[in-house]
């Protein structure tokens, strides 16, 4: 199992490296139109939001069938989105969401 995880980590690095190295490989990137730079800056948060949405909204039952779920995670995602929109800081939103879920689970509500 651990060998498979190492291989998966290496494949993920090989796939994501070009997008992270793009500014080094294309030095004229800062001359792109502001709209294109804004789009590229928002790709990372959009991918994270998509992954969070799938992990929050879909649960697998013991037979591994997906089903829609609603729980404390929805509130955490909403809090994260609201904080990011208000503070313009993704880190603050993610930390607040993680703390909210941790407190809810520790209290037995989640």
Task: Spell out the domain ranges in the chain.
Answer: 1-31, 32-110
pTM as predicted? 0.53
Distance of alpha carbon 91 from alpha carbon 110, whole angstroms: 23
Burial of 71 (0-12, 13-18, 19+ CB in 10 A): middle
Question: Which of 44-48, 70-74, 101-105 reaches the highest mean pLDDT?
Answer: 101-105
- What is the Cα–Cα distance from 100 to 55, expressed in whole angstroms? 16
Contact 91, 80 (CB under 8 A): no
pLDDT by residue (tens digit) across 29-48? 667 788 887 887 788 778 87
């Amino acid at each position: 199992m651990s060998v498979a995880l190492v291989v998966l980590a290496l494949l993920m690095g090989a796939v994501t490296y070009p997008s992270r190295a793009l500014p080094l490989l294309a030095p004229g990137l800062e001359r792109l139109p502001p709209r294109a730079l804004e789009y590229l800056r928002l790709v990372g948060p959009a991918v994270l939001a998509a992954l969070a949405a799938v992990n929050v909204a879909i649960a697998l039952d013991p037979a591994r069938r997906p089903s829609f779920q609603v729980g404390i995670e929805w509130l955490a995602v909403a809090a994260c989105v609201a904080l990011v929109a208000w503070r313009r800081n993704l880190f603050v939103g993610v930390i607040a969401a993680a703390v909210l879920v941790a407190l809810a689970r520790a209290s037995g509500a989640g």
